[in-house]
Structure 1
Amino acid sequence: MSTDRSAPAATAGYDDRRRWQALGVGLVAAFMTLLDVSIVNVAVPSIDRALHATPSDLQWVLSGYALTFGLILVPAGRFGDARGRRTGFVAGLVLFTVTSAVAGLAASPLWLIIARLVQGAAAGVVNPQVSGMIQQLFRGAERGRAFGLLGATIGISTAVGPLLGGLLIQAGGEQHGWRFVFFVNVPVGIIAVLLGWRLMPARPTGAADRNRLDPIGVLLLGVAVTLVLLPLVQWQQWHGGAKWLLIPAGLVVLVAFGWWERRYERRCRQPLFDLRLFGLRSYTLGTLIGLLYFAGFTAIFFIFTLYLQIGLNYSALGAGLAITPFALGSAVAAAASGRVVNRYGRPLVGIGLLVVVIGLGAIVWLLRGSPHVSVPLLTAAPFLVAGLGSGLVVAPNQTLTLSKVPVPQAGSGAGMLQTGQRIGSAAGIAAVGGLFFSTLVDTRDDWTAAFRRSLLLAAAIITLALIAAVVDIVLGHRRSGSVSPARSGAAS
């Protein structure tokens, strides 16, 4: 498979001077869509009071978005590769903006659930176009900086969601403040649609086989992702062990998807996802690192919000402020890491993972016994450290993982990477959240003990990502002999 390290070869007729402006629009859209994964968590009590929703309704409001988001990523990425990223970006963003308004106007739980399902699918259309656009328009050090900014956006949007949600709910009032969580997307979305149509490239470079979008591949992958994600996102409300049988069933369908993709490609057609990408060590291990890191990383904010709001009676705004140090550390480190990732390669990711584990371990140690000072104050410094480590993980890992992916497969390659991250997030919340609630039962509502134990599990999952990064570094050194760290993380 060819690499992609030449000078920029932008789409014919595209003004390269617009690249950074287009990236800015893409980052705003990515921020909005990723923010909606976490921002609604703090709005649940307000939604419950306003719409008289059942626990099952509320779970679907939260998890339905994540389900359809993960379901559409790879097909949407392939669409952008084949038909133009601007088309996919604008169409997805229009749908996201409209469904945000519809969700804000919801008069019943069913209304809100349907709006969230469609909103999640729209978010899944938008995000691969941003990563694909970076692959298409940037090269070398500039690509690292662009992915650094995207990594900062991912980290901030995930961590700062509870804070912004708390601010919006406080501004709108306890009864209807949750509606502001959705309405805030509308003016930003309208502006981003107009600028996106003007600034983003209409067609990708070197796209081939534009008119074939592999509908059977789309169906098989969609069924596989649904079967894997559904029990993970419904783990609280779907009782009994039968739900876990869907995961091996999903893996069987995934094998069928792989068989079909190879058959489709042998007919000289462009498959939905080029399986040869998994022949690249940087892509395979990078995708695994992303899945494992997001499994631990996303779950932290889920359990911390529960711990503060329900266990310690903090307000939504107070819980959001407590997570701010992580968001700030992540933003600073992600922006800086984009400038040095090409020099240090995968070891930079390994260092970041180690720092995250150290930060989380410090929180577990500080919360031993019953804390006698404010928990947000006690955890601020270690969360800042963990955030700095996170900033060295998300953006550099994305840059290194996609470094060898040819531009014609950039959207679908990024879509598969993000699908792994969505599956990891769902699995992490199910596992870490399950331990959190079981510990509450075992300890008779000792919220601090529950948080510490579940945080240890999250740290252990992130440690697995660290092991995968070390494996990549070691294999890189073995393959190339004694080489500089800058090349060890990018070797395929």
Structure 2
Amino acid sequence: MGPASGTGDEPADYTPDPRRWKALAVCLVAGFMSLLDVSIVNVALPAIKVGLHATQSDLQWVVSGYALTFGLILVPSGRFGDARGRRNVFILGVAVFALASAGCGISPNPTLLIITRLVQGLAAGLLIPQVSGLIQQLFRGAERGKAFGLLGATIGVSTAIGPLLGGLLIAVGGEREGWRYVFYVNVPIGALAILLALRLIPARRAENRRRQNLDPVGVALLGLGVVLLLLPLAQEQQWHGRWKWLLVVAALVVFVVFVWWERRYGRRRDSLVNLELFGKRSYGLGLIIGLVYLAGFTATFFVFTLFLQQGEHYSALEAGIAVTPFAAGSAVSAALAGRVITKFGRPLVAVGLAVVAIGVGGAVLAVHLVPGRNVGWATAVPLLVAGAGSGAVLSPNLTLTLSEVPVREAGSAGGVLQTFQRIGSAIGIATVGSVFFATVASSHNDYPRAFQRAVLISVAFDVVALIAALVDVVAGRAADARHHRRTARGSVIPGR
């Protein structure tokens, strides 16, 4: 695909909101807070186990419950924001997230912690689609690419730096109670974000509000399908036996029914998901790239943290420091990529994916060549390279995927993209995690070998995403060539 374009529904009298960059900063802080909780809890699990006497099943639900409810509500909340105003839905999501975080922090037992984590995930799913929707609403042209670049940096850094922040907070709070600080830190951030959002994020004007039906049947079908698909993936290590995979088959059946319903419903009213968007190459291939790349990206840090803490006996803080080079590389390159995405288009994503594969492959080689406690230093440069590549994937792919989406559908379309990414993360952790744990069990706790075998699967996900990006590049150039030929023929004046 070529450079990102506009959505085609932008008003001719569009006037940039003078507060748009400040409003974006508020959105990114709240988005960082919610996405951080996807990864920050991983390093807190040993402390939670000690502090609450939690079982392995409890710990699995602390992680997977958040991801499950997060993915469940993304599309409906995006649609709700499109219809009722994104600022109010954003503020509601931040408020519930902060309250749920406080509930997590004061939890006296694993059961209450799991319940509040489920609520926390719902709140995150409520606010995240509003962020991409507000970017579509507030920015145009090259500025939109820069804004999505900052969002991509936020996504990458929040995932990679989570273990470091978690390790710092646990070090401050102590082994038994330090995990509570991981949740408490969200409360003042959330309160500040609400106050700033009320002041800086523009409310939707009355004439732009659409009183539309929210397609409750579509919401129910999509929610059921997402739960059926994510549940066996999230519980892959705890549910033994093959019967759980029947839920995946059931999920596919529900998704087929969902598509049928959306087509039928869309003939009369606005459906939950505009299925016509999937016919746009930028959107369809962008979803695939997001799903497959997040599968490898998330799983890499999942097994790397396990390898360092369980295999090399790193503390939570040491494990967090070890992944910091990736966060640094991702932050810088995502911001830079956002500035040039309108010029380079999908080829930039393809280059980023290739660099990620090289960097992660280098980390695997470093673990093989430098075993033992020095592995954190050995993987620093490869992770920095992988981070630089990742920054050129996440933010440009966001920009390109949503480039042809009308602003009025930005929330729901962004929710679909985020749902694909959550599903990808679950698939990656289930697949790569199963290889990691199986290798540990069969090789008498040979953690370096388990890490190398597992992360090679992550590299394979990167390669698949790279193939999808190259397909888009080739198809885009072919479409541009056809367009130029038609233009050239049309410019020839008959008789001359």
| TM-score normalized with structure 2 length | 0.94
The CA distance in 1 between the partners of 2:119 and 2:437, in whole Å, is 30
Aligned partner of 1:461: which letter?
F
Secondary structure at the residue paired with 1:16? coil
The CA distance in 2 between the partners of 1:418 and 1:201, in whole Å, is 24
Corresponding residue of 1:393? 393
Q: 1:122 to 1:402 in 2, by over 3 A?
A: same
Aligned partner of 1:47: which letter?
I
Corresponding residue of 1:427? 427
| Residues 1-400 of structure 1 mapped to structure 2, 5 A cutoff | 4=7, 16-203=17-204, 209-267=210-268, 269-368=269-368, 371=371, 374-400=374-400
The CA distance in 1 between the partners of 2:146 and 2:427, in whole Å, is 30
Conserved? CA contact 1:326–1:387, under 8 Å: yes
Conserved? CA contact 1:299–1:425, under 8 Å: yes
| Percent identical residues | 62
The alpha-carbon deviation at position 212 of structure 1 amounts to 1.1
Conserved? CA contact 1:82–1:207, under 8 Å: no
The alpha-carbon deviation at position 8 of structure 1 amounts to 6.8
Conserved? CA contact 2:16–2:138, under 8 Å: no
Once the two structures are superposed, what CA deviation does each residue of 1:442-464 show, in whole Å capped at 9, x if it has no partner? 22111111101111110011100
Once the two structures are superposed, what CA deviation does each residue of 1:198-227 show, in whole Å capped at 9, x if it has no partner? 222322798564241111110000000000
Aligned partner of 1:366: which letter?
A
Conserved? CA contact 2:9–2:406, under 8 Å: no
Conserved? CA contact 2:84–2:210, under 8 Å: no
The alpha-carbon deviation at position 264 of structure 1 amounts to 1.1
Q: 1:141 to 1:102 in 2, by over 3 A?
A: same
Aligned partner of 2:185: which letter?
V
The alpha-carbon deviation at position 441 of structure 1 amounts to 1.9
The CA distance in 2 between the partners of 1:49 and 1:407, in whole Å, is 48
Conserved? CA contact 2:303–2:451, under 8 Å: yes
Once the two structures are superposed, what CA deviation does each residue of 1:89-119 show, in whole Å capped at 9, x if it has no partner? 0111110010000110000111000000000
The CA distance in 1 between the partners of 2:63 and 2:307, in whole Å, is 18
Conserved? CA contact 1:86–1:200, under 8 Å: yes
Aligned partner of 1:344: which letter?
F
Conserved? CA contact 1:85–1:204, under 8 Å: no
The CA distance in 1 between the partners of 2:435 and 2:419, in whole Å, is 24
Deviates more, 1:203-212 or 1:103-112: 203-212
Structure 1: segments with no counterpart, 5+ residues = 485-492
Once the two structures are superposed, what CA deviation does each residue of 1:277-303 show, in whole Å capped at 9, x if it has no partner? 101000000000000000000001100
Q: 1:373 to 1:61 in 2, by over 3 A?
A: closer
The CA distance in 2 between the partners of 1:10 and 1:65, in whole Å, is 42
Conserved? CA contact 1:10–1:16, under 8 Å: no
Runs of 4+ residues deviating >4 angstroms: 5-11, 204-209
Once the two structures are superposed, what CA deviation does each residue of 1:169-219 show, in whole Å capped at 9, x if it has no partner? 001111100000000000010010111122223227985642411111100
The CA distance in 2 between the partners of 1:377 and 1:335, in whole Å, is 26
Once the two structures are superposed, what CA deviation does each residue of 1:67-107 show, in whole Å capped at 9, x if it has no partner? 00000000000000000001110111110010000110000
Corresponding residue of 1:489? none
Secondary structure at the residue paired with 1:326? helix
Q: 1:230 to 1:373 in 2, by over 3 A?
A: closer
The CA distance in 1 between the partners of 2:456 and 2:35, in whole Å, is 25
Conserved? CA contact 1:145–1:338, under 8 Å: yes
Conserved? CA contact 2:152–2:394, under 8 Å: yes
Conserved? CA contact 2:366–2:375, under 8 Å: no
Q: 1:189 to 1:406 in 2, by over 3 A?
A: same
Corresponding residue of 2:487? none
Aligned partner of 2:427: which letter?
A
The CA distance in 2 between the partners of 1:270 and 1:225, in whole Å, is 21
The alpha-carbon deviation at position 270 of structure 1 amounts to 1.2
Q: 1:9 to 1:435 in 2, by over 3 A?
A: farther
The CA distance in 1 between the partners of 2:436 and 2:239, in whole Å, is 17
The alpha-carbon deviation at position 5 of structure 1 amounts to 5.1
Conserved? CA contact 2:6–2:141, under 8 Å: no
Conserved? CA contact 1:9–1:137, under 8 Å: no
The CA distance in 2 between the partners of 1:60 and 1:204, in whole Å, is 41
The CA distance in 1 between the partners of 2:22 and 2:442, in whole Å, is 53
Q: 1:204 to 1:333 in 2, by over 3 A?
A: farther
Conserved? CA contact 2:6–2:140, under 8 Å: no
What is the alpha-carbon root mean square deviation over aligned residues? 1.8
Once the two structures are superposed, what CA deviation does each residue of 1:325-344 show, in whole Å capped at 9, x if it has no partner? 00000000000000000000
The alpha-carbon deviation at position 369 of structure 1 amounts to 5.3
Q: 1:148 to 1:218 in 2, by over 3 A?
A: same
The CA distance in 1 between the partners of 2:80 and 2:253, in whole Å, is 25
Conserved? CA contact 2:84–2:209, under 8 Å: no
- The higher radius of gyration belongs to 2
Q: 1:103 to 1:365 in 2, by over 3 A?
A: same
Structure 2: segments with no counterpart, 5+ residues = 485-496
Q: Paired residues, what number?
A: 480
The alpha-carbon deviation at position 367 of structure 1 amounts to 2.3
Conserved? CA contact 1:39–1:162, under 8 Å: yes
Conserved? CA contact 1:346–1:397, under 8 Å: yes
